[in-house]
Amino acid sequence: MKAATLIATLCVAIAMTGCGTKKGFEKPGFAFGCPVGDGKIGDMKDLVKIKSAKEGGRSADIELEEIRCTTTGDLLKIDVVLYNDESDVERLQYKFRWMDAEGMRAADEESWKPLLMYGNSRQTITTIAPNAKARDFRFIVMGQE
């Protein structure tokens, strides 16, 4: 009986430890592999909100669905999933802005990259940090003129 109670207690403790760590492998200050600092990230929508910005007069009529990060060697690697929920083709341009751990600019401003999205389609943009100093980023998107 005592042994059964002990096993049950152990199981509960293990289960609780598992729930306490988000996804079981997320480091503190990171969400979905992306650096977020002290920002409170409840779900993917929160992450997309703090990691992306729409610029320019003509905003791109697309939805930013997901942003996921990982590292390759000492460089940050990012996947951004875009979704065009309209039936029309959408032409947009995007770039990444890189910051170091202190929030200072870690690389030169990137050039805008044009992107064509067919109607009702998804596209994943993959990029890699230009150097190891670049520990944080913003995904900037704008409609094409």
Partner 1 sequence: MTNTQRSQRMKPTPISRRALVIAAVASIALVAGCAGPKTRYGDAGKVETVTNTFGSTDLQMLSEQMSQSMLTEAPAIAGGNLPIVTIQEVKNKTSEYIDTRAITNRMRATLQKSRRVRFAVDEADMKKQTGELQRQDSEYYKKEKSAQMGEMIGAGFRITGEITSIVKETKKVKDVYYQLFLSLTNIQTGIEEWSDTKEIRKTTER
Helix (H), strand (E) at residue 127: strand 121-128
CA distances from 135 to 51, 63, 100, 117 (A): 13, 25, 5, 29
Name the DSSP letter for residue 99. Answer: E
Residue 73 found at the interface with partner 1 (CB under 8 A): yes
- Which of 52, 97, 99, 130 is close enough to bind partner 1 by CB under 8 A? 130
Nearer to partner 1, 50 or 123 (CB): 123
- The position carrying tokens 């999933």 is 81
Structure tokens given for 78? 């990012």
Cβ atoms 83, 122 nearer than 8 A = yes
- Which of 68, 77, 97, 135 is close enough to bind partner 1 by CB under 8 A? 77
φ, ψ (nearest 5 deg) of residue 13: -60, -45
- Which of 26, 61, 63, 74 is close enough to bind partner 1 by CB under 8 A? 74
Residue 57 found at the interface with partner 1 (CB under 8 A): no
φ, ψ (nearest 5 deg) of residue 90: -120, 130
Residue 128 found at the interface with partner 1 (CB under 8 A): yes
Residue 97 found at the interface with partner 1 (CB under 8 A): no
Tally of residues, the chain? 145
Residue 5 found at the interface with partner 1 (CB under 8 A): no
CB of 77 to partner 1, least distance (A): 7
CB of 47 to partner 1, least distance (A): 22
For partner 1, the binding residues (CB under 8 A) are: 72-75, 77, 93, 95, 107, 109-114, 127-128, 130-132, 144-145
